[in-house]
C-alpha cells in the first residue's frame, strides 16, 4: 500500500519538517511530472543519505516569455505517489509567492557557459536555474543534492556554482534514463504526438551514430550524429557538439573521452540528449 508522504507548502512548514528529519539529507530538485528518470534520482538519494527531500517547483525564473511555463504538466497526485513509493521523507511544493516573496534583487549569474548551447537558445535560463537551486539549498540545507546527467550542462553549472561559492553541499550525478525505445525520458515528452515521438527517436540514433564514428575524431563524431538528425523528417537540429563534461569547453587534442551533446526541435518541443564518447579510437560506449 502506498504510504502517505509529508508535504510542506510554506517555508515555515518546511523548516518545522526539516528539523525533524534524521541523519543526512539528500535533496532532489524537480519541476514535477515525475517519471522513471526522476525515480532513479530518488533511489540514488536513498542510497547516499538517510532522508530524502524532493522539491517540486516550476520555476518561472528559468522560463522565457512564450515558453511552456503555464502549460508545464502538474500531475501532483502521481508525483506524491511516486515520492511515497520511494520512501521520500518530505516533499516541498512552494507556491510562486512563497518561493519569490519579492522580485529577486540578486540573482546568480551562470557566466559565459550560461550563454552557450542551451543558454544560446534560452537566454537567462541558467541564471534562473542557479538562482532557484541556490535558494533551495538555503531553504532545505541538504547535505547532498542529486542531479541527472540528462541535463548535463545544468549539472556542470551547478557543480561550478557550488565550487565557486563554497556552498556546503555535495553534488551527486545520476545516470540518464531512457525509455525502452531509446528516447531519453523527459516531462516534455508528453507534448509529442505519436508521429513526433517516432521522429524524436532520431536523437538517440544520432548519439549512437556519433559514438560509433569515434575513430573519425571529434569532427567525425559530430558529422555522423548531425547526418542522422538532418535526414530525419520533422526534426530541426539546434546544435551537435563534443565537449568536456565538466566545463563544456571543446575537448583538447589529447582528450580521449568527451560528451556528445545535442538539441533539436521536434514540432514545437525542444529536446536534448547526450552520451559519453571515446574520441579518436575505434571503441565507443554508445547508449546503454
* Catalytic residue ranges: 38
- What's the CA gap between 226 and 69, in Å, rounded? 30
Q: 189 or 214: whose CB is closer to ligand AMP?
A: 189
Instruction: Compose the 20-59 pattern: x for residues touching ligand AMP by CB under 6 A, - for all others.
Output: ----------xx-----xx-xx------------------
Q: Is 60 helix (H, G, I), strand (E, B) or coil?
A: helix
Q: According to CB under 6 A, which residues from 246 to 275 bind ligand AMP?
A: none
Q: How many residues bind ligand AMP (CB under 6 A)?
A: 17
We find the least distance from the C-beta atom of residue 85 to ligand AMP, in angstroms, to be 17
CA distances from 250 to 226, 241, 286 (A): 17, 8, 20
- What's the CA gap between 67 and 200, in Å, rounded? 19
Q: According to CB under 6 A, which residues from 169 to 188 bind ligand AMP?
A: 174, 176-177, 184-187
Q: For the packed helices 125-140 and 152-164, what is the interaxial angle rounded to 10 degrees?
A: 60
Q: 130 or 224: whose CB is closer to ligand AMP?
A: 130
Contacts for 37 with CB less than 8 Å, ≥ 6 apart: 148, 150, 176, 177, 184, 185, 186
- What's the CA gap between 44 and 228, in Å, rounded? 33
Judged by CB under 6 A, the residue of 98, 151, 172, 278 near ligand AMP is: 151
Instruction: Compose the 102-141 pattern: x for residues touching ligand AMP by CB under 6 A, - for all others.
Output: ----------------------------------------
Closest-CA residue to 171 (of 33, 48, 276): 48
CA distances from 287 to 40, 43, 84, 86 (A): 17, 21, 30, 26
Closest-CA residue to 53 (of 1, 17, 3): 17
Does residue number 240 form part of the binding site for ligand AMP (CB under 6 A)?
no
Q: 9 or 74: whose CB is closer to ligand AMP?
A: 74
Using Cβ positions, the residue closest to ligand AMP within the complex turns out to be: 148
Judged by CB under 6 A, the residue of 63, 92, 147, 248 near ligand AMP is: 147
Taking CB under 6 A as the binding criterion, the range among 8-16, 144-152, 231-239, 269-277 that sits at the site for ligand AMP is 144-152
Q: 20 or 96: whose CB is closer to ligand AMP?
A: 96
- Helix (H) or strand (E) segment spanning residue 100: none
Quick count: other Cβ atoms within 10 Å of Cβ 225?
31
> Is the Cβ–Cβ distance between 245 and 157 less than 8 Å?
no
Q: 100 or 216: whose CB is closer to ligand AMP?
A: 100
Q: Which residues bind ligand AMP (CB under 6 A)?
A: 30-31, 37-38, 40-41, 147-148, 150-151, 174, 176-177, 184-187
Amino acid at each position: 500500500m502506498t504510504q502517505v508522504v509529508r508535504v510542506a507548502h510554506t517555508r515555515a512548514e518546511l523548516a518545522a519538517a526539516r528539523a525533524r528529519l534524521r541523519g543526512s539529507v539528500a535533496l532532489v530538485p524537480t519541476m514535477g511530472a515525475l517519471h522513471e528518470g526522476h525515480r532513479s534520482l530518488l533511489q540514488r538519494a536513498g542510497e547516499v543519505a538517510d532522508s530524502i527531500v524532493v522539491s517540486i517547483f516550476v520555476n518561472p525564473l528559468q522560463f522565457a516569455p512564450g515558453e511552456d511555463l503555464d502549460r508545464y504538466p502538474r500531475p501532483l497526485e502521481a508525483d506524491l505517489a511516486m515520492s511515497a513509493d520511494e520512501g521520500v521523507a518530505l516533499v516541498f511544493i512552494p507556491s510562486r509567492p512563497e518561493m519569490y516573496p519579492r522580485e529577486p534583487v540578486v540573482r546568480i549569474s551562470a557566466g559565459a557557459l550560461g550563454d552557450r548551447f542551451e543558454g544560446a537558445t534560452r537566454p537567462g535560463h541558467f541564471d534562473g536555474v542557479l538562482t532557484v537551486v541556490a535558494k533551495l539549498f538555503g531553504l532545505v540545507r541538504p547535505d547532498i543534492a542529486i542531479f541527472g546527467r540528462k541535463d548535463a550542462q545544468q549539472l556542470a553549472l551547478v557543480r561550478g556554482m557550488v565550487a565557486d561559492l563554497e556552498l556546503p553541499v555535495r553534488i551527486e550525478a545520476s545516470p540518464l534514463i531512457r525509455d525502452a525505445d531509446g528516447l531519453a525520458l523527459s516531462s516534455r515528452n508528453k507534448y509529442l504526438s505519436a508521429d513526433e515521438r517516432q521522429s524524436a527517436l532520431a536523437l538517440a540514433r544520432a548519439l549512437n551514430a556519433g559514438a560509433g564514428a569515434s575513430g573519425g575524431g571529434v569532427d567525425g563524431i559530430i558529422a555522423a550524429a548531425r547526418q542522422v538528425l538532418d535526414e530525419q523528417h520533422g526534426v530541426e537540429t539546434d546544435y551537435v557538439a563534443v565537449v568536456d563534461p565538466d566545463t563544456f569547453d571543446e575537448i583538447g587534442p589529447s582528450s580521449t573521452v568527451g560528451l556528445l551533446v545535442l538539441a533539436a526541435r521536434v514540432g514545437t518541443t525542444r529536446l536534448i540528449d547526450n552520451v559519453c564518447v571515446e574520441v579518436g579510437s575505434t571503441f565507443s560506449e554508445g547508449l546503454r
